[in-house]
Amino acid sequence: MDEAGLTPAAARHPRARARVRRHSVRDQVLDALRTAVLRGELRPGDVHSAPALGERFGVSATPVREAMQQLAAEGAVEILPNRGFRVLAPSARDLAELAEVRALLLVPLLHRLAAGLPPERWVGLSRLAADDAEFHEALVALSGNRQLVRVAGELRARARRAPAPQARRQALVDALAAGDTAAAEAVLRELLGP
């Protein structure tokens, strides 16, 4: 496989690279839209069109529409035919339920990782504590389970929480490095919300 994840035969196909790039643009737009929603730049109730957002992000409307479909599947937006989409506000119940689901996945993972990884392994995670998304992805990636990384990332995006202070992520790493799984679990639950 090459750097784009294509087999040699697929890489020789003239359209293969275009498909990979288009997917990448969609993911970049999806990340940008999630960030704009989280920061309040796209407020709940406001209606946005794909062409206008495409212009804002310097892309065509197509990757914006594709990203909006994903956000609609996550419950973050409502598709309005022939108009665009409306940003939805998550209810307190939605946020509590998402926090519960995330805890059901991540607390057992935390205990498994704490029991199986040496304390020095947490140093690398400590270097990522400044970036909330990167930190959470790297923590789950320690499981070696790509599907869990994908699902946990989707749930994190759906929760639409403002990032916790870096000190809280560092506190999680410090508790794990010290072998204090009870403290690590308490910090993780705090990070998950609601």
188 in the same domain as 129: yes
101 in the same domain as 52: no
Contact 102, 68 (CB under 8 A): no
Structure tokens at 194: 């609601």
Q: Long-range contacts: 115-119, Cβ < 8 Å, 24+?
A: 115/181, 117/142, 117/176, 119/176, 119/177, 119/178, 119/179
Does residue 2 lie in a domain region?
A: no
pTM for the full model?
A: 0.70
Domain that residue 96 falls in: 92-192
pLDDT score for 159: 82
Cα separation of the two ends of the chain = 41
Query: Residue 47's domain is classified under what CATH number?
Result: 1.10.10.10
How many domains, the chain? Answer: 2
Q: Phi and psi (nearest 5°) for 17? A: -65, -40
81 in the same domain as 36: yes
Structure tokens at 15: 């359209």
62 in the same domain as 102: no
| Angle subtended at Cα 190 by Cα 172 and Cα 130, rounded to the nearest 5 degrees | 50
From first to last of its 194 residues, the chain has per-residue pLDDT tens of 444 444 444 444 444 333 334 457 888 999 889 888 877 788 889 999 999 999 999 999 999 999 999 999 888 899 999 899 999 988 889 889 999 999 999 999 999 999 988 888 888 888 888 988 889 999 999 999 999 998 998 888 788 777 888 999 999 999 999 989 999 999 999 999 87
pLDDT score for 9: 45
**Strand 84-87 to 47-48 pairing:** antiparallel
In sequence order, the 6+-apart residues with CB closer than 8 A to the CB of 67 are 26, 29, 30, 33
188 in the same domain as 102: yes
